[in-house]
Chain A
Amino acid sequence: MHLDEEQIQRVLHAELPQAAGEPVRSHLTECAACRSRVDEAQREEDRIFGLLRELDHPLPRIDDEASPVRSWRRAPWGRLAAAILVGILAAGAAYAASGAPLPKMLQRLIGWAVQAPTRKQSIAPPASNAPGRGIAVNAGDRLLIVFSTPTKDGLAIVSLTDDSDVEVRTLRGQASFTSDLHRLQIDNRTDSTRFQIRIPRGAAWIEIQVGGRRAFLMESGRVVTRAHPDPRGDYLLPLNGMPPIPP
């Protein structure tokens, strides 16, 4: 009676139970055919696992020397920050107590988290005057579009559409987009970047901020902005830090 597939794999992975595995080990010492099957299974596994390693990316950097608390106070965190905060609170008072050190592991996580790259998509400038590249996000129940810094000659043309997605394209210049569930951040890399933003009329709540100030708000079909619509009904939103609309 030869070894079955389960037993072959368990031999391979040293997963044979101590007592129940004895007959299997004993059989292997006597059966060249089964030893050959184990060897073949080992070769096949080495080949497959070697292929899987081709998919690997470098481990994220975890910096022992990070200064977590200082970074924590100034870093925009989002969901991860909340999770870590919950973790800290639930774990007890190690953080809250004066002078008590943050657990080393959390220090590392925090230190790493504030330095980890966010998912950022770099958008190459369009090769011609054709409409450029951009990003589309589902409007969801709430979406904040953030232009991180005002730019002197930048302009966003905001149109209302009957689509379900918010679309942002570069018409001119260069930008990168960083997206989250309720937030789309746009980093314009050139002073005169021009964007086209298409907003679904049916969206519940969409706000556009420029340099930390609210420049456009559409809430349940009602638009509030200081920008003036052009004859086609598009809103021309300067990205030079125009006066904010009231909250």
Chain B
Amino acid sequence: MSQSRRLAGSIPVETPFHDSVVALFEANFPRLFRYLDRLSGEPELAADLAQEAFVKLYGRGSLPDQPEAWLVTVALNLFRNVKSTRARRHRLLTLARAESVLSDPPPPPGQSAEVKELRGRVRNAIVQLSERDRRLLLLRAEGYSYRDIATALDLNEASVGTLLARAKRAFSDVYQGESDAP
């Protein structure tokens, strides 16, 4: 049902837009969060970026042509901004000044050394991919369509499958190298 409210002295609030954003949020927040989490290795940052992308979508007042791709693009731009401001990145001081601050969090109690090692190998493999391969692979892993991937990453849609196959191959090669390393 199409319905709009016009409030005194205000712009109209279109209920369908609100409902659409809510539906998009329900359907896309988890996968956008997971995508950004895997990309950054920082769950709290991923949550910040994902929610900020939705807030920007709501603030836009209307849906873009490809909302899922739009959300990814906005979130990636926000992520890029975060990375650039990390010129003033905070670092923890230790006695040796060697501890990393922004790596994956420590494993929960009870998590086996094997799981920790596996996570480390996967993370290392991911970060060794080119930026395009990394983003492509992680987007597809979350089920984004070829059209949305092409839009979000500025690729030719006709070659997304080929690029994806290469990205998977690159990941497998690097991961295998990680696994074979002593």
Interface residues of A (CB under 8 A from B): 4-10, 13, 15, 41, 44-45, 48-49, 51-52, 54-60, 62, 80, 83-84, 86-94, 96-97, 100, 103-106, 108-109, 112-113, 116-119, 121, 123, 130-131, 133-138, 140, 167, 169, 179, 181, 184
Contacts and interface: CB of A to CB of B under 8 A. Distances in A.
Interface of B: 5, 7-13, 18, 21-22, 25, 29-30, 33-34, 37-38, 41, 43-48, 51-52, 54-56, 58-61, 85, 87-95, 101, 104-105, 115, 118-119, 122-123, 125-126, 137-138, 140-141, 145-146, 158-162, 164-165, 168, 171-172, 175
Given A84-B55, A91-B58, A9 B165 contact: yes
SS of A interface (majority): mixed
Nearest to A91: B58
SS of B interface (majority): helix
A87 B165 contact: no
Q: Which of A5, A55, A118 has the most CB of B within 10 A?
A: A55
Nearest to B123: A55
21 contacts: A15-B146, A48-B172, A55-B37, A55-B38, A55-B104, A58-B43, A59-B34, A83-B52, A93-B7, A100-B7, A105-B18, A113-B51, A121-B92, A123-B92, A131-B95, A133-B95, A134-B92, A135-B90, A135-B93, A179-B90, A181-B85
B101 to A, nearest CB: 7
A100 B30 CA distance: 28
A105 B22 contact: yes
Nearest to B10: A93
B47 to A, nearest CB: 4
A86 B94 CA distance: 39
